[in-house]
């Protein structure tokens, strides 16, 4: 008898929901418009790609940005990094590795720091281009990295930070010539 009451309750609830749905369709019947009230114009994809390419060509290259980068501004930008990194010669690692001598150093090459597999499996060195790409958005450059930093969107800030990191070195790496602009 109890089971019948439960099933009847569920059946009545389903019928009420279906009835309300049908009643709302009758009361609020909508007819499609004969024509759209607002027309969205879509440009040709090739024209849009050409416009993007023109904007990218107008941006200064990394070499040009580094040539005029102000390391003192980079020190201010580094404050975002200082919670996890240090740039002291011989300084200890924090949550992230010590970044002294990082420009031109091997990726995941700081002894005594346990890198995520995303960085540990990378070959090469921290060139200006690699640092710029990593600082732009670490999660895109090294998917799976433990680094929680979202990145620096402004190329000028990245160049200033790289110039600051370059100064924190025993032998600063030579600045690159004008390089092609990054996309």
Say which CATH number the domain at 65 has. Answer: 1.10.760.10
Cα three-residue angle 75-78-82, rounded to 5 degrees: 125
- If one counts the domains in the chain, the total is 1
Tell me what pLDDT residue 54 has. Answer: 61
The verdict on residue 88 lying in a domain is yes
The verdict on residue 82 lying in a domain is yes
Tell me what pLDDT residue 183 has. Answer: 45
Q: What is the pTM of this model?
A: 0.66
Ramachandran area for residue 124 (φ above 0: left; ψ -120 to 50: alpha; else beta): left
The verdict on residue 124 lying in a domain is yes
Tell me what pLDDT residue 55 has. Answer: 59
Evaluate if residue 48 carries a pLDDT over 70: no
Q: CA 22, CA 20: separation in Å to the nearest integer?
A: 6
The verdict on residue 41 lying in a domain is no
Domain span including residue 118: 61-167
The predicted model gives 54-68 an average pLDDT of 78
> Quick one: pLDDT band at residue 47, thresholds 50, 70, 90?
low
Evaluate if residue 59 carries a pLDDT over 50: yes
The verdict on residue 183 lying in a domain is no
Of 109 and 37, the one with more pLDDT: 109
Q: CA 54, CA 13: separation in Å to the nearest integer?
A: 61
The predicted model gives 129-143 an average pLDDT of 94
The verdict on residue 5 lying in a domain is no
The verdict on residue 178 lying in a domain is no
The verdict on residue 50 lying in a domain is no
Q: CA 137, CA 90: separation in Å to the nearest integer?
A: 27
């Amino acid at each position: 008898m109890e089971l019948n009451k439960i099933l009847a309750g569920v059946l009545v609830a389903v019928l009420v929901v279906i009835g309300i749905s049908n009643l709302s369709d009758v009361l609020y019947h909508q007819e499609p418009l004969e024509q759209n009230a607002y027309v969205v114009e879509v440009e040709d994809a090739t024209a849009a790609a050409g416009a993007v390419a023109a904007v990218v060509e107008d941006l200064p290259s990394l070499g040009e940005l580094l040539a005029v980068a102000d390391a003192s501004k980079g020190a201010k930008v580094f404050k975002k990094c200082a919670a996890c990194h240090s740039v002291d010669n011989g300084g200890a690692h924090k949550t992230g590795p010590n970044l002294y001598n990082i420009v031109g150093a091997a990726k995941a090459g700081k002894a005594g720091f346990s890198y995520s597999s995303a960085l540990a499996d990378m070959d090469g060195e921290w060139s200006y281009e690699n640092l710029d790409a990593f600082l732009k958005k670490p999660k895109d450059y090294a998917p799976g990295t433990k680094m929680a930093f979202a990145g620096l969107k402004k190329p000028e800030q990245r160049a200033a930070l790289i110039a600051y990191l370059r100064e924190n070195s025993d032998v600063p790496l030579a600045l690159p010539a004008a390089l092609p602009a990054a996309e």
